[in-house]
Amino acid sequence: MPLLNRLQANQADQLDHQVNIESNSSETSLWLEFLKGSDAALAKIYRMYSNKLYSYGRQFTSNEVLIQDAIQDVFFKLVDNKDKLGVAQSVKFYLFSSFRRVLLRSLKRERRYVDEEEEGAAFNFLVDEDHISIDALLDKKQKKIIQNACNELTVRQREILNLRFFENLNYVEIAEMLGLANAKTVRTMLYRVLNKLSEKLAPYKSSLFTFTLTALLYLLFI
């Protein structure tokens, strides 16, 4: 049975396996349960992150099969390498960075990914219902304005903005994930991105004031 099907089926089989994982278990606790061999913990990690990984993948490609295959590959490798893994400082960072590597390798094989510093469709910034906090702040027209402005940034800038603002990865994690020098480099690049966005969104200042203020406060103080 394909891994994704097994994980989905496991959701209904948890009681049969008599694995008691509290709904409010921390990611670390879930990870430790998974390392001990809990299929229920693995299934819960899958439920928590499969949609997030899919949404992230959509910003690299519209090929749904390629994205789903990459997600399955990540979880296959989790199972295969379980005995070699230690405690993850951040489960989200581990999954996102692994997924990014797998997906980009697949895209390069498919010749659908351009060099990260080239202009093109290597990373398309999307503002949709998957980003719940933003979805609540913006109407359809405002989302389109934000999305268009973000997609005028360079490929690297788009992804940094996405990882910091929407995925809430910290500066150190982003630097490691994107192969940048250090956290300070990411912070500097992010401030430059905000300045550029401020200029691009200036004509829409009144209608986007709430979003802009929220974004700045989030990035500066969270």
The model carries a pTM of 0.75
* Spans of all domains in the chain: 3-109, 132-221
Alpha-carbon distance 55 to 186, whole Å? 22
Task: State how far the Cα of 123 lies from the Cα of 196, in Å rounded to an integer.
Answer: 18
The predicted structure's pLDDT at residue 209: 55
Tell me if domain 3-109 and domain 132-221 are identical in fold.
no
Percentage, residues of the chain above pLDDT 90? 38
CB 211 within 8 A of CB 134: yes
- Confidence (pLDDT) at 219: 45
Residue numbers of the chain with a pLDDT score lower than 50: 1, 9, 11-25, 114-121, 132-133, 135, 213, 216-222
- What are the pLDDT digits (tens) for 160-190? 988 998 888 999 999 999 999 999 999 999 9
Q: How far from 178 is each of 68, 129, 142, 189, CA to CA, in Å?
A: 22, 25, 29, 12
> What local confidence, expressed as pLDDT, does residue 12 receive?
40
First-last CA distance in the chain: 42
Beta-strand (E) ranges in 57-120?
A: none
Q: How much is the pLDDT for 102?
A: 95
Q: 118 — phi, psi (to 5°)? A: -85, 155
**Of the options 1.10.10.10, 1.20.1070.10, 3.90.550.10, 3.30.420.40, the CATH number for the domain spanning 132-221:** 1.10.10.10
Span 3-109: which CATH code? 1.10.1740
